[in-house]
A = this chain, B = another copy of it.
Amino acid sequence: MEREIACRPIGTVKRTEGGISVLEVFPEFCEGLNRLTTFSHIFVLYWFHERDTENGRRVLRVRPKKHPGAPLVGVFASRSPDRPNPIGLSVVRLLGRDGCRLEVEGLDALEGTPVLDIKPYIPRADAISEARAPEYTLEGPPT
C-alpha cells in the first residue's frame, strides 16, 4: 500500500538573488519547455532537499513561521517545508527562457534545490479569487 514512488529531478535551482531565480532544466528534458513562455506564470514543484530527513517527514503539526499570529495547524493546512513529502509548490512569474534556463520571479527556494516538475498556470482553473483563507495568511510574506 505504501510503496515508495520514484520521483526524479528534471532540473535544479541554479541561482537565486533578490527575488529572481534561474532554473536549469537538464538537457534531456529541455524540449519539454517548448511554448512555456506563452504563459505568464508557472507552477514550480520542487523538493525541499534539506528537509528530507526522517524527523522532518514525521512532522504533523506546525506553527506557520511566516504568518505572525498563526495558530498550531496540521501540516497539510500549512506550506511548511517539513512535511511527509517535502514537495514545495510555488506560483512564479516567468520572466524568460534561454535554452534550458528559465528566469522566474517569486520562487522561495534555495540554490541547488531539485526541481520535480513545471506546469503552466491556467487562470481559468487555478485563479480562485473568491477562495477563503484564515486572516493570519494576510500577515507576513504570502506563503
Q: List the number of copies, as a whole number.
A: 2
Cα(A75)–Cα(B89), bound, Å:
18
Residue in B closest to A137 when the chains form the complex, CB atoms: B122
9 contacts between A and B (CB under 8 A): A5-B6, A29-B76, A39-B131, A45-B89, A76-B118, A78-B120, A87-B116, A91-B126, A120-B137
Contact of A61 with B by CB under 8 A: yes
Cα(A68)–Cα(B41), bound, Å:
22
Give the number of residues in A that approach B within 8 Å (Cβ atoms).
69
Asked if A36 and B77 make an inter-chain contact with CB atoms under 8 angstroms apart, the answer reads yes
Residues of B within 8 A of A1 (CB): 9, 26
Cα(A34)–Cα(B73), bound, Å:
6
